[in-house]
Structure 1
Amino acid sequence: MRHSPTVWRQTLAGTGAVFLICGRNPTVLLLSREMKISFLFACLLVLTITRDCICERCDDWGEDTRKLTQAYDGEPVRLRCPLFEDYLKHNYSTAHSAGLTLMWYWTGKGKDLEEPINIRLPNNRISKDKDILWFRPVLLNDTGNYTCMLRNTTFCLKIAFPLEVLKKDPDSCVSNDKAAEVVTFPLEESSTLNCPDTKGYYPSDVIPIVNWYMNCLLVDRFIGRYPQGLNLQFVDVMQRFEGNYTCIVSYEENGRAYNLTRTIYVKTISSHIHAKAPVMISPNDKQTFEFLAGGELHISCDVYFSYVNNSFNEIGWIINGKSEGDFTDPRVHVNESVTLDTTLPGAKTIKKELRIKNITPDELKHNYTCTAKNTLGVVSRQALVKEKVGTPRYITELACGLGATLFLVVCFVVVYHVYWLEMVLFYRAHFGTDETIGDGKEYDVYVSYARNAEEEEFVLVTLRGVLENEFGYKLCIFDRDSLPGGIITDETLSFIKKSRRLLVVISPSYVHQGTQAILELKAGLENMASQGNIRLVLVQYKSIKNKEKVKELKLAQSVLSVIKWKGEKSKYPGGRFWKQLHVALPVKKTSSSKNSFQMVPLNVEFGTDCGKNVTTKNS
């Protein structure tokens, strides 16, 4: 059981009174010998009862963890017994004169045994001075719990507190941020930083050497900061002055040099010039909150609080006269968040969100007020809330119908853009009219190309193989199907008149070496322009520079689309090249017995009929 200082002080007084009465009272000397003996026995009985009642065991106040002392290895440190601090600090002399002795014990770090402190070390490294235990200097091994005990033969009182010795980096002015206390300085004001806990370490007639550091940089000729012994003067505090400040005090005592290292963290706060009452950002008079009945009400209250020293910041919602502490409805929720102001330290914006689920029409008519206050003032504002008129049902249905229609149109456009060739071919195959019936034409396609080995192979093997064998068209190829000995011009014009399409294979050779090819192109253009009974199909085998084109070819390309051959990518008969070419050729009802195309060598035979089959196929 612990006794208050008043209890043990009264006990000491009572014990002294008994001694005074029994030992030094002059009245006792006037009594007879028998009365003296009886009186002495009575005094002994009182002393015995007093001792048995109050001092059978030591009163242990336990460990005071709040009184953590931190010191650097190799520096002086003093420990003051907590029994004489605060309201007991003036009673050490009284306790000593009453016969009480102050004793010191310690428990090393990681140990359980409490040992007496040895104050007879060399050079008086550890010494006692009234209620203070001195270390000159303290070492790392001194870390542990220290106990000061006040006792006599009939009384005992003790308390323990920790000491932590930190290892200091020789290349740094401070080794551990835990050793730093925090002070706040207002911006744009002058302030003084004092080197703490140095008084009493050295005699008053000794002038120590003091060096100030900021983040381990010596404060020398710093703008706006001037060292003045144990004080560091800030002329005009700026935000960049925030950081760790260390004062190192150097002095000599009894021929030995000592250092005291103290670290303080300076935190900047907004100046009192900017201090003001709360400023409400939202809700405001220009805002109107509309909510549907049955939905969720969500209102945010944003308030800006400037920094005010020793002030409180409060913010809350009031619904129809009820504050947040009176909200019992589980549908009501209030959330708070804080955003710090980076330009003015200490200032912040507090947001408080009010949410009510399944709001009723009556609740939408309630008064929703946000209130904020600090020591400088109070601000309140009502949120303008009203019921939102729902959209008529027919408008919703119409909007849904239009949206669905638009979606289908977009889907159709996308599908048509991607698969329009397949759609055209499908329509032609099932619903198209056969162009070969009753038009008096003998050939489906007349092929015009440059006469060289590469393009002859392309025409005679690739084009002819797919168009005749896969698509069932009748091709007229002049070099293959014309009779020898005839007039080239007349036969060319005759073949073109008998054909439904003129397929022109464009390449650089078509212009440079294609005399007959140019003739065929002119004849086809004139026939298409004058009579309109033949159509041109342009297939680009190889690209031609614009300056190399003849005027007939330029005219054809300006009015007709060009189907481009892309080499290996276009050889597959089901590819895009062949689909485009198929769409450009006549609609003809024919069934193909083949589903795939295979390249085979071509043996050319000359005959009298353009439609004569002269290919050799693999069996």
Structure 2
Amino acid sequence: MVVIQLFLLTLISGVHPQTFKEIHRQAGDIAALYCEVKHGDAKILWKRDDNQSVILYNNMSSDEQRQIGMVVHKQSLVILSASVNHQGNYTCSVGNSSRWSRFRLTVHTHFREHDNITCYTSALCQLHCPTTNVPATSFSNRSITWPKGPEYGNFPSVEKEHSGIYTCTWYFPYHGQTYNVTFEVRLDVQEFDTPRTADILKPRETTFEVELGSPKVIDCEALTWSCTNSVLYWLSNFDFVDEDRPSRVSFNQTCPSDKNSKEIKRTAPLVFTKVLEEDLSKNFTCVLQHDGQTLSYVTITLTQKARPSHTSLAVCTVVLTVLSAVMVFICVKFKVDISLFLRDTLGCHSSTSDGKSYDAFLMCYESDTDGGFNAHDRKMLESVLEERFGYSLCLYDRDVLPGRAVAQVVLDCIEQSRAVVLVPTSPDPGPGSGLLSAIHEALVERQTRLVFINTETPKVSRSGSIPKALQLLSESGNHVAWKGMSSMPPSSSFWKQLRYHLPAPQRAPKIQLLLQTIQDVSSK
């Protein structure tokens, strides 16, 4: 369950990075930043962030804008002659809303944006001057020149020797000045190959699932080499489907007019505004008719989608609910065993050093019943924790040197331990229960993990039978019940509960280290 929670937190905490649209210009060229935020009738606001102040260009008059070489025109910000002073980050937004676009303008000493175009020998080749980040036609009566190459960028019949780099320049007259930007067009002329036979690319499948009463679009796409010498259409059984008409079943064919391409994809999507039951019994055929070759066609049929079974859905819901309840019950019932398994077998516990010298400090208090630990029981408790489970213990009668104030010595032990285990004894061999009153505030202040070993259920203890300090600490600690002989086996519930409430030991048990040593010696 912890893994699932972490996974959900990771999903919830995901973020979307802010991105800039990168714009590059050579110094002296004109540039336009287009705001692509949908604004309706709202006003577009442009500003620049130069890391020192924010400049809002909309607050400037037309004359002030022209003085700094920048003009706000409809949805665009036009930089008349780019320089290093214009380099930086720009933002457009709709009023005070959260809808915005960001731009980063970089001005270079030498830079030319370019387009690549491929044409084929003995064919018409049209060179298009790029319009990347240039002002719109509504800004100025722009014009274009091709200093090198054909007039208007057209090759009536292009050949291999025409391959190369061509430049084109846009000119924008504005308030008595003319501003420009130059681009490169890199032309690659290739030998014309005989095109392959025109054919239908899709649909590939012959059956389509539909929902009665819902709209449906089925694409038909064909590969050809001429828009004028080919046609793509649909048949319903043996009747022609309406083309470009507002009917329930129709199609609309399109063919791109790219004269520089050897292969053309013609499309004719079949559109159902509403699928009826009568459509399920018909054959629909997409037909490609091309000069010089036989007809190509693909026939499809419609089938109704299978409705989900409510009975199956209900059964799945009940099964998932029962499984969830069982999993919750298992996790609650066996949480101690599961936690110890993950800790001991898979090593699922914190391995970061906290600077503590001991895993736990065993501190005795005088039990008000006859079921307290005697000397033999205490030795057994210490031995099992240290030898079998690998805990590093701080013991009052072993690790505390004489000559210092008892309270200060005990506080030092608590400071160096990850947990404190209070052990009921008869009689009390340690510093005594009275010491708890002196160090009560220190224990609460440190929020030390407390584990109480009880010889009876805490709820039945009489409030007046134990010291007040011990009673206050008992209310904030975890309790483990000691039941005498039945609690002695290391596999008993007592040891599982005690280890569950204690932090994982920072070193391996001595028994495990001994077995590992024996195995190492045997392997040699």
TM-score range, shorter chain: 0.3 to 0.5
Q: Which has the larger radius of gyration?
A: 1
Give the TM-score of the pair, scaled to structure 1: 0.30
